[in-house]
Structure 1
Amino acid sequence: MATSAVAQEIVFALRQKIARIEGTLPERLARPAGTPSAEETMVLRRHGVTVVQDLLLTGAENFDTALGGGLPKAALTEIHGAQTRDAGAVAGFALALAGLLVKNAAQPKLPVLWIGTHEIFREAGFPYAPGLHARFGIAPENLMIVEAPKLADAMWIAEEAASLKALSAVILEIRGNPHKLDLVATRRLHHRAQDSGRPVFLLRQAAQPEPTAAPVRLVVSPAPAALRWTITGPLPDSIGPPGFAVRIDKSRNALPGQFTLEWNADERSFEERRPDGLGSKNNGAVVSAPFHRTDIAPAAGAVLAFKPATDAAAPRHQPSRKEHAAHRRPRRAG
């Protein structure tokens, strides 16, 4: 039974891949209960054996399609920042991916391990704990931060942590293009992520692309925030969700592409920005539409201001007779 289920998964994933190439709708198959959908799997050849790999769906359909269905969960993924000032956008994008993992995980309380050196945290700062849960759905107690004195220590910790299934994700943040982080070192990280079934996100500040074992490399930079949308259209002088300019620089299953994504903190999902640049397609009303009528309330008409009352017309305060008597009543002495 298990062999038959795996065979159906492989055939279904192959049909999905062929359909994406031909631009046709694939035939649907009956799926075993409890197995991930075909959109969340990828067929790979590993050591001569065909395996089905789980994918992380970001919610942005065109972006996921360009990646071949999504980001691989059990793999090393590089997230680059071309300049040091892009470190905030790179870190926010990685935290959003970690929030997606926590949202869709069977055990959402598995912690996220963030590893960096003294240089990294002095330059870019630490993640802001109070905003983790509100923006990304990550409880502050579920984010473990390791500040290593040297790069070699940070890499050793990342390799050991990548083989643990007790973590939901491992984030290793480095700066530039150090010689120690070569093709052999990234291959070790990638293989350990495959064995544990957990993702490893390699954040690189001010780095240049170089050969690594990561199947996917993304270049992330901040995008200008668009206007927030309501049921009547864009709200003037407002600030919409955080925007990320994401470029697919390397992928084994897709061609390079450029996308502008917005993070929806309420849905904990990415959304693509509208073609007109005014906001995401799904960033709609801030209040629900009326269900008992089709039309919205009409706009307010002219506003009239009444002339304020003058001091002469205003009634003066007149104390009562009791107040006069109380003020004039002689006080007892002794």
Structure 2
Amino acid sequence: MAMSAVARDTVFALRRQIAKIEGTLPERLQAPTAGAPGAIPGEVRSGLPSAIAEKLNRSGDATGPDMTRDRTIVRRGLAVASADAFLHTGIGRLDAALGGGLPKAALSEIHGLETRDAGAVAGFALSLVSLVLREKQGLPILWVGTAEIFHEAGFPYARGLHALFGIEPEQLLFSEAPKLLDALWIAEEAARMTAFAAVILEIRGSPRRLDLTATRRLHARAQNAGRPLLLLRQAGEADPTAAPVRLIVSAAAAASRETVAGPLAGSIGRPAFKLDIGKSRTALPGQFTLEWNPNEHAFAERTENSVAVVPASGRGADPAPAPGAVLAFPAPASPAVTSPAACDQPSRQQHPAHRGPRRAG
């Protein structure tokens, strides 16, 4: 019994130290016996390799004062490498809801609920790529999709890439695969390469091949390469994926263009996106309306009411017509005016031709 108690204390102490190194919360582990379980006996330390024992000696207890020396950030029980591992959008509320921002070395899902949202999804993805290129200047971006995707949603406009996002047209490479299986293979092989600043994979609908196993492979490749992999989904269901973040994007009504004299009535301002957090590490919901500044290549949150595309009625909703009796048209006043029904009927001279049999030759 004494040996089993010592073994339990030793195993618990090792678990606490491993949790300390990995960055998880050691408070979730309950001590099997009373006392200070964080201290590892000397005889156990002597049996460990010198490197591990030195690491454990320097780390100390996970709940002690040495915890502040770690650079690991723990959010809601989940460990993140460091603050540099996030792509900051520049919107404080959004970054806080995502737990620091969008992970750089991970698979991130950008979801469009309908096919008509493909333009907004692509524009938001290119905005994120523009933020990535601030650190990865000169590296290209690979956009992978099937022929069905590009025929339905089209390709980005080359001049618009530079004007709106600061992306040179030669930096954006496209790979059109004949089948979804080929697109998944290309994206998986490209995600493991550090020669790309980012990889974009665009999928339509909810195919069976895009299951949890396939997304886990994509997520693992992105983590090993330290590059972001953006999964764009058109008109698909919110299926389980390995992506730690899922953003639901749609187009928002553009505000009026700002001038020196004030907003210009009837004009179209900056591109705007309606953003909903469908999945994140913090599990915090949120809805945002973001505008993309093409001059500064940065996001800005819009809180005021925007200008609707079609002006609403001043009296509210249009009332439904009152029900009433359906009346027939009166008879023509003079015999010279023929009714439409009479015009549709054939004349007496035409009746025999219509009734006679059809002859060939």
Query: TM-score higher than 0.5 here?
Result: yes
Contact preservation (8 Å) 1:82, 1:208 = yes
What displacement does 1:130 show? 1.4
Partner of residue 71, structure 2: 10
Residue in structure 2 matching 1:199, options 228, 233, 238: 228
Give the letter aligned to residue 303 of structure 2. Answer: R
Partner of residue 148, structure 2: 119
Contact preservation (8 Å) 1:44, 1:51 = no
Contact preservation (8 Å) 2:255, 2:268 = yes
Contact preservation (8 Å) 1:174, 1:205 = yes
Contact preservation (8 Å) 1:234, 1:278 = no
What displacement does 1:240 show? 1.0
Q: Which whole-Å CA distance do the structure 1 matches of 2:258 and 2:70 have between them?
A: 40
**Which segments of 5 or more consecutive residues in structure 1 lack a partner in the other structure?**
19-42, 280-334
Contact preservation (8 Å) 1:76, 1:190 = yes
The answer to whether the aligner puts 1:64 opposite 2:125 as a matched pair is no
The answer to whether the aligner puts 1:171 opposite 2:200 as a matched pair is yes
2:269 partner SS: coil
When normalised by structure 1's length, the TM-score is 0.69
What displacement does 1:230 show? 3.5
Partner of residue 32, structure 1: none
The answer to whether the aligner puts 1:262 opposite 2:291 as a matched pair is yes
Count of matched residue pairs: 244
The 5-angstrom pairing of residues 226-265 of structure 1 reads 226-265=255-294
Partner of residue 162, structure 1: 191
Give the letter aligned to residue 162 of structure 1. Answer: A
Give the letter aligned to residue 57 of structure 1. Answer: H
2:189 partner SS: helix
Contact preservation (8 Å) 1:68, 1:254 = no
Q: Which shifted more, 57-66 or 71-80?
A: 57-66
Give the letter aligned to residue 153 of structure 1. Answer: D
Q: Which whole-Å CA distance do the structure 2 matches of 1:59 and 1:9 have between them?
A: 26
Q: Which whole-Å CA distance do the structure 1 matches of 2:152 and 2:293 have between them?
A: 27
Give the letter aligned to residue 81 of structure 2. Answer: V
Report percent identity of matched pairs.
60
What displacement does 1:232 show? 4.5
The 5-angstrom pairing of residues 65-104 of structure 1 reads 65-103=96-134
What displacement does 1:62 show? 1.5
What displacement does 1:234 show? 2.1
1:213 partner SS: coil
What displacement does 1:80 show? 0.7
Contact preservation (8 Å) 2:145, 2:177 = yes
Quickly say closer, same or farther: Cα 1:8–1:234, change in 2 above 3 A.
farther
What displacement does 1:131 show? 1.1
What displacement does 1:7 show? 7.4
**Which segments of 5 or more consecutive residues in structure 2 lack a partner in the other structure?**
1-57, 60-66, 309-361
Measured against aligned partners, the alpha-carbon deviations of 1:230-275 in whole angstroms (never above 9, x if no partner) come to 4543222221100101100011124121111110111111110133
Measured against aligned partners, the alpha-carbon deviations of 1:137-160 in whole angstroms (never above 9, x if no partner) come to 110011000000000000000000
Contact preservation (8 Å) 2:272, 2:289 = yes
Q: Which whole-Å CA distance do the structure 2 matches of 1:231 and 1:198 have between them?
A: 42
Give the letter aligned to residue 254 of structure 2. Answer: A
The answer to whether the aligner puts 1:225 opposite 2:254 as a matched pair is yes
What displacement does 1:278 show? 6.3
Q: Which shifted more, 197-206 or 62-71?
A: 62-71
Give the letter aligned to residue 61 of structure 1. Answer: G
Judging by fraction of residues, say which structure has more helix.
2
The answer to whether the aligner puts 1:51 opposite 2:81 as a matched pair is yes
The 5-angstrom pairing of residues 136-155 of structure 1 reads 136-155=165-184
Q: Which whole-Å CA distance do the structure 1 matches of 2:224 and 2:147 have between them?
A: 30
Contact preservation (8 Å) 2:78, 2:281 = no
